[in-house]
Structure 1
Amino acid sequence: MSFIDFDKEKCDECYKCLRTCPTKAIAFLGDRREIINELCIKCGKCQVVCPQGALKIAQDIDKVKLAIQSKRRVIVTIAPSFASAFKMDEPSQIVTALKYLGFTHVEETAIGAEVVSQTYETFIEDGNMKNLITTSCPSANYLVEQYYPESIPYLLPVVSPMIAHGKLLKSRFEEAYVVFIGPCMAKKVEAEGFQNRGVIDAVITFEELRDWFAEEKVTLTHLTPTPFDHVSTKRGCAYPLGGSLFKSDFRTRINHQYKYVRVDGIEECKDILDAMRKGALDHYCIEINICSGSCINGPGMPDDGTCHFEREMRLHQYVDTKKTLKEAKKKNHFEFDHLDLSKTFEAKNLCYDIATEADIQNALVRMGKYTKEDQLNCGACGYDTCREKARAVVMGISDAQMCMPYLRQKAESMQSVIFDSTPNGIVILDRDLLIRDINPAFDQAFNPEGSPVKDFPIAAFLEDDLFLQVRDTKKNILGQRIHFPSIKKTFIVNIVMLEKEDLILGILADITQAEKNQVELMRVKRETIMTCQGVIENQMRVAQEIASLLGETTADTKINLNRLKDIVLSDEGDF
């Protein structure tokens, strides 16, 4: 499922999303902007950091509204982190708000978390696995399946709290439409997984719920609290804080042959999985979460300026009001033995494997990285290293020229070539009309001795009245013909005020030779016209003389022919 789409019109290619993406699962190639589903772990960090709002998450709000309008039993399973996501006088005000929107039944996903915790305990007590990794965080599961497949045997083969609670609800309300509401965007994909289809019908983030409340003009603090339809436990509600599995006050049964570690944050997760890959861990039980600070810092939390510590404090206060499992059982009957809570994980083949060392070296050359020193690893392109960027080029998800130092060097090189090679004189002045830089053509025209010119006033080389005019009026002078008697040359002058840089740019095109050529051309034209006129007159005279001669000759011929005719006719009379 592709659950994040690009709005290409909004994307300004700042690459902030790519820099943030822990698996570099974003393609920037020509006009192509795309999330590479096979590489993405669905953490949602790219969407959160995009300053232009160019990344859009698939939403189920409309589906949920239709289900409510159809008069179906629409049930909510809401993550306990709601207590840190919304400002309320009483946490149970959220129940009132949800039922106002049309939901018929509201429970906490913490019930599913309690079920999952009890299932985990059986694996921990058995002690048959070398290492154990919790599987409540879908993004962490995707990370292992796609990038650390050798650790799949250590993943606890248990569904997440959302799926466990969804199955529990479906077993109690067979025709119900179940909606999960929480801080995690990856849950949208998890709910669509082939092993979970039909368990959760729709997923809404807390941010989407906040917008829905605003649309319906719901103010939580104005509502009368309503209790949840089922009681959750202290341990289940503490899941978003992380580490709740292994706290003795939450009554988790401990198998002392395992060392218990809580890891949250993508880099920390990758670090411990790297250690596991090297074989450095033995008999560790690891609670792993992709989001730093665990679920209360999920990408679907409302962006209302609330800091992590305030969220944590709110949730701690809420957890303190909850009951232990023993106390909760007095009100709830947690019967889940009939449910299949198993989960299968499998390795995902990645196209990263297609890049050979020769391919990478060839891509580096195309990026202008000819030596190791050329590999700056600046990260401006979004990739952490030049080699990682080259690998993406080989994969066909990145442009070789999408390298800031390379583009800058290329632009500066082109700029330098133009500046140094143009036949036009170029001078750059500061506000005081002191020379900051000149090019060789200007130097040759106005400073043939080659004296130092930097920080000298322009008036030392040519009249400065036009430069003063541009500085004072901030109006550019374009295409003005000026003759400089001191050097006996004529130029077409363009003077431009660079306001942002507070500099004045002068470009002078030498037209002296062109004007000389124009004068010479006019002289040649006049001489040519005069010569042509003489030839024409001479031709006319010759033509007239020829015509006169031809006329005389024709008359003589006519007379002689008539005479010959008379003679012939007279001779015929004698016969």
Structure 2
Amino acid sequence: MNLHFPVFTTENICHDCYKCIRHCPCKAIRIVDGRAGVIQDLCVACGMCVKVCPAHAKKIRPDLARARMLLGSGKRVYASLAPSFVSYFKNLPPGALAAAIKKLGFAGVSETALGAQAVSAETGAFLAKAEPGVYISSACPAVVDFVKKYAPAYAPNVTSVLSPLLSHTKILRREFGDDIGVVFFGPCVAKKNESDRHQELLDLALTFADLEEWLASENIDPARIPASDYQPMVPESASEGKIYAVEGGMNDTLRDPAGDVRYLAVSGLVNLGRMLRDDPEAAKSRSCKIFIECLACAGGCVNGPVMPKQQGGTLSSVIQVARDYDGSTSLNRPTDLPIRETVTAEPQLEPEVDEAAIKNALASVGKFTPADELNCGGCGYFSCRDFAKALIANKAEVEMCVSHLRQLAQKKSNALIRYIPAGVVIVDRHLKIVECNRHFAELFDEDTVLAYDSCGSLAGAELSAFADFSDLMAAALLSGGEVQRHNQVCGDKILNISIFTISPHQCVGAIIQDVTSIELHREQVSEKARAVIRKNIITVQKIARNLGEHMAETEILLREVAGSYTEIKGKR
């Protein structure tokens, strides 16, 4: 069956925040063009990336449609309900939830905690006969995968017992027949891996969120189901297995006051990885038995990746689980269920990287000396050297180094500001200078230039102390827009001022050009032109006046000639 991996990325909404890398205990993330994709071979499906992604780009594989098809096939299908359901569906009676699930078409609803009780019984029997040493629980599939991949030397220390979920499927099939279907509902992503690997036992693994969506789509509200319609859990209600959902819960079901086992609990894969850094030989316990209950999610399943962010792992969610625990153990339960499985190491070894390659990778992000290695974690990796190794492995991109990008941006902006042939100034909302260039200082007196040359900047100075246009900057801050002023007279200078917003109401910048000489030259040219025009007008006026006098004399002469001619003609 061609199945997609349990976790995937919706690339078009993934932003380059690298939060998933920062929180991934396996660093099973590859960045391509600023988008974070899951590396399937390295991932253990803990779901941490899904939980922390601020853009909700990391998704859990949706299997709801397949579940509907399974129920529509006519097969009898039973629901396996994780014990943390009491924390997700708070204040909802189990009978009401069971009734609601049966309305979806399930043949029955059973508690995964029954499988947990079987696991504790099997583990307790194993520990009673075991030699002194360190033993790791097999209850959490994400933990088992983590040990197999990233602490493979400890794989033999993992107890050879199936998980509570797979053990529960065996209980259901023994009770209701091998021809049934089983669908799990819980807070976990790693259960999908169990379903994919053990299709003969578990048909599908869905989340509580899937169940909530399914009920809503069918207009089924568990809270409105009358008590008379509540349904019991089958084949029976669980007891001490319910406490598995919280850290230390499994240990509580194993404790034997007369036993010789020391019980420890660790939750969170980062904490587990730190615990298992020691060489197994150095960590051997030759004098006593140490059993370590391990959970991938900090605080236990009540803080799983699908649990509500504001409620997961809170005291109230723990109390919801713990209130039904009666303090009993599973040590006296029968161990006749075949739930043994050997854990085999699957080491994910990093390729050897020589020091020269690491130095070249560091140099590509401006890290040339140990002092340059800030180890800020902005890229998501613990150190600059880890980031360099990720670059070499093509898991990361140079643009992920925030400090390097900042340095590049600063250098570019400094170069632009310095070499722009005009005054440039940037001020904050208090009209204090953030940055400026020397051309800006040169717009004012010699003292301002000396101050700039001495400090290399005028940062922190009040703009109004020496600039007459601070009111224009204040107007731009207030409006959040742009302001343009041409031929603005400031003291003995004429300036063209262009003010632009960098951050609305917080920061503005201005480019100021001294056009005094240009305007003076233009005025001089204009004055000369006006003088020439005046002279031309005077000349034209003189010409016109002289021409008028000549025309008058000519007119008189012509009249006299015409009169004389008339007299002569009359005499004839």
Sort the Cα spacing of 1:2 and 1:356 in 2 relative to 1 into closer, same or farther, 3 A: farther
Give 1:246 deviation, angstroms. 3.9
Cα–Cα, structure 1 residues 55 and 246, in superposed 2: closer, same or farther, change >3 Å?
A: closer
CA apart distance, 1:258:
3.8
Q: Which residue of 2 aligns with 1:66?
A: 69
Q: How has the CA–CA distance of structure 1 residues 269 and 471 changed in structure 2, closer, same or farther, with 3 Å as cutoff? A: closer
1:89-130 CA distance string (max 9 Å, x none): 532222111101110122111222222223223421231473
User: In 1, are the aligned partners of 2:215 and 2:221 still within 8 Å (CA)?
Assistant: yes
- 2:361 maps to which residue? 363
Normalising by structure 2, we get a TM-score of 0.79
Shift of 1:187: 0.5
Q: Per the alignment, do residues 426 and 141 of structure 1 end up closer, same or farther by CA in structure 2, a change over 3 Å counting?
A: same
Please state whether the residue corresponding to 1:269 is helix, strand or coil.
helix
Paired residue type of 1:24: K
Q: CA deviation at 1:467?
A: 5.5
C-alpha contact 1:233 1:325 (8 A) present in aligned 2: no
CA gap of 1:365–1:520, structure 2 versus 1, over 3 A, is: farther
Residue 415 of structure 1 is matched in structure 2 by 413
CA change 1:100–1:397 in 2 (3 A) is same
SS at match of 2:325: helix
Aligned length: 508
Does the 8 Å CA contact 1:131/1:285 hold for their aligned counterparts?
Answer: yes
Q: Distance in 2 between matches of 1:307 and 1:284?
A: 26
Tell me if 1:376 matches 2:378.
Answer: no
Look up the equivalent residue of 1:179 and give its one-letter code: V
Question: How far apart in 2 are the matches of 1:261 and 1:468?
Answer: 63
| Aligned CA distance change for structure 1 residues 434 and 19 (closer, same or farther; 3 Å) | closer
1:116 matched to 2:122: no
Query: What is the CA distance between 1:396 and its match in structure 2?
Result: 0.5
Equivalent residue of 1:355, what SS? coil
For structure 1, the residue ranges without an aligned partner over 5 or more in a row are: 522-575
* Change beyond 3 A, Cα 1:470–1:361: closer
Distance 2:158 2:478 in 1: 73
- Note if 1:320 corresponds to 2:320: no
Q: Which residue of 1 aligns with 2:177?
A: 173
Q: Does residue 189 of the first structure (1) align with residue 187 of the second (2)?
A: no
List aligned pairs for 1:152-163, cutoff 5 A.
Answer: 152-163=155-166
Could you say which residue in structure 2 is the equivalent of 1:243?
A: 248
Contact 2:75 2:180 in 1 (8 A): yes
**Could you tell me which amino acid in structure 2 is paired with residue 226 of structure 1?**
Q
Q: Identify if the C-alpha distance between structure 1 residues 170 and 84 changes in structure 2 by more than 3 Å, giving closer, same or farther.
A: same
Measured after TM superposition, the shift of residue 325 of structure 1 is 8.0
Post-superposition offset of 1:499:
6.0
Question: Are residue 102 (structure 1) and residue 101 (structure 2) matched?
Answer: no
In structure 2, the gaps of 5 or more residues are 453-457, 526-572
Which residue of the partner structure matches residue 293 of structure 1?
299
Pair 1:227-2:232 in alignment: yes
Matched AA of 1:312: V
The CA deviation at 1:257 is 4.8
Q: Which residue of 1 aligns with 2:205?
A: 203
Output the CA distance in 1 between the equivalents of 2:430 and 2:276.
62
Task: Give me the whole-angstrom Cα distance separating, in 1, the residues matched to 2:259 and 2:477.
Answer: 80
Alpha-carbon distance between aligned partners in 1 of 2:490 and 2:129, rounded to the nearest angstrom: 97
Report the TM-score, using the length of structure 1 for normalisation. Answer: 0.78
Aligned mates of 1:435, 1:76 — CA distance in 2: 66
Question: Which range is displaced more, 23-32 or 276-285?
Answer: 276-285
Give deviations 1:507-566, integer Å, cap 9, x for gaps.
123567888999999xxxxxxxxxxxxxxxxxxxxxxxxxxxxxxxxxxxxxxxxxxxxx
Letter of the structure 2 residue corresponding to residue 217 of structure 1:
N
Q: Verify the 8 A CA contact 2:499 2:509 in the aligned structure 1.
A: yes
Q: Is the 8 A contact 1:495 1:505 kept in 2?
A: yes
> How much has 1:335 moved relative to structure 2?
8.0
Identity %: 29
Shift of the 116–410 alpha-carbon distance from structure 1 to 2, 3 Å rule, reads: same
Matched residue, 1:264: 267
Could you tell me which amino acid in structure 1 is paired with residue 378 of structure 2? Answer: A
CA RMSD of aligned residues (A): 3.4
Question: How far did residue 429 of structure 1 move?
Answer: 5.1
Residue 98 of structure 2 aligns with an amino acid whose one-letter code is V
Q: Find the aligned partners of 1:239 and 1:448 in 2 and give their Cα distance.
A: 77
Moved more, 216-225 or 204-213: 216-225
Structure 2 residue matching 1:318: 3-state secondary structure? coil
**More deviation in 7-16 or 99-108?**
7-16
Q: Contact conserved, 1:87 with 1:221, CA < 8 A, in 2?
A: no
Amino acid at match of 1:126: K
Given that 2:120 and 2:330 are in contact with CA atoms closer than 8 Å, whether structure 1 keeps it comes out as no
Give the corresponding residue for 2:566. none
CA displacement, residues 190-245 of structure 1 (integer Å, 9 cap, x when unaligned): 2212xx23211111111221222233333333323211121244332222234344
- Structure 2: how far apart are the matches of 1:354 and 1:294? 35
Report the alpha carbon displacement of residue 154 of structure 1 after superposing the two structures with TM.
0.7
**Contact 2:48 / 2:305 at 8 angstroms: preserved in 1?**
yes
1:68–1:383: structure 2 CA closer, same or farther, 3 Å change rule?
Answer: same
Deviations 1:344-367 (A, max 9, x none): 3222334x2243332222211112
CA distance in 2, matches of 1:288, 1:472: 57
1:447 aligns with 2:445: yes
CA shift in 2, pair 1:60/1:447, >3 Å: same
How far apart, CA to CA, are the structure 1 residues paired with 2:210 and 2:261? 40
Counterpart CA distance in 2 for 1:509 and 1:126 is 89
Three-state SS of the structure 2 residue aligned to 1:34 is strand
How far, CA to CA, are the matches of 2:466 and 2:274 in structure 1?
65
